[in-house]
Amino acid sequence: MSKTPASPKGKPAPKSQPRKATAKPEGAAPEGDRIAKVLSRAGVASRREAERMIAEGRVSVNGKKIDSPALNVTAKDRISIDGQPLPEAEAPRMWLYYKPIGLVTSNSDEKGRKTIFDELPEDMPRVMTVGRLDLNSEGLLLLTNDGGIKRKLELPATGWLRRYRVRINGRPKDEDFAPLRKGLVIEGERFQPMTVSLDRQQGANAWLTVGLREGKNREIRRAMEDIGFSVNRLLRVSYGPFQLGNLKPGEVEELRPRVVRDQLGLAEEEEKPAARPTRARGGKPAGKPMGKPAGKPMGKPAGKPMGKPAGKPVGKQAAQPSGKQGNPGRTAGKAPPARGTRPDQRGGGKRPAGKNPRR
């Protein structure tokens, strides 16, 4: 009987109260991410495709099939597709692809036409397209293995300029393109202003450079038809900072991981491990972060003045980081000189530890 009243007055009472308050706060958002988002980021499918797979009963969570994408999952949940465990998400990767004329930008075509995925190299991993190009359009198409990147780059809020080389039939004048520069409304659909420059006349055709920041279906063709010109060739030459360059029809080129991180704002998150090697500063580290100096100063230097140990470990420590910083140094050396280096890569990859002993 004595134990029963003692328990609420003792320690268990204050501990149980905060636990109940934090366990189920009212109005708190569900933990984890939506299942379709997780599948997309793992490179399995786009969000829309993932939702179709869920509706078809192909996705299971913790051994139970689900039929609705309105479900949040966490890392603790076991997800499988067609009975196979969900593959671990890879590092974000991107490719530049020169889409030839005559290929459909789709995983499959109801008319039986060839798609870009029928022509991609066999050693390519599963990828998704960033946006689309029409059957009779050609040029730069971005590919990625990450559904989050795909969604981010397709959003109008991203605002990346897409430039096209366009050939139209006729002899236009520069003022003919004023409606496109102001913005059009075609069949109730609003087209944002385009940048249009008349490059040259070539016989019965004229070459233009057109830039836009959205990707509606057949946007350029429809806009040109509205002002009285027909497009007989359309070639995308750039998508934001990514250029078609010297790629030939059907060729694929993977972007360097550093370029992907820089252009997509992933640099800080990915570069943190590279910034771990620290420089020795006047004896303050006392050899702790390093290997050999840590063994010697542990005993004697602890009781001695800072003068003598500070001199020796600084020299050794300055030599030690040069080995450990070798990998970041070589990584920085591989990057194109035009892109420069970041503040955490001092010296541009040339002897990063060379200046340390002199400071």
Please identify which of the residues 33, 77, 109, 134 carries the catalytic annotation.
134
Residue 46 phi, psi (nearest 5): -70, 170
Q: Which helix (H) or strand (E) holds 313?
A: helix 307-324
Antiparallel, parallel or unpaired: β 84-85 and 189-191: unpaired
Q: What are 262's two structure tokens? A: 């820089």
Burial 9-39 (b: 16+ CB within 10 A, else e): eeeeeeeeeeeeeeeeeeeeeeeebbbbbbb
Q: Has 67 been annotated as catalytic? A: no
CA–CA distance, 53 with 110 (Å, rounded to integer): 18
Yes or no: say if 277 and 344 are a contact pair by the CB < 8 Å rule.
Answer: no
Q: What are 129's two structure tokens? A: 């397209």
Q: What are 270's two structure tokens? A: 């990915």
Where in the sequence numbering do the catalytic residues fall? 134
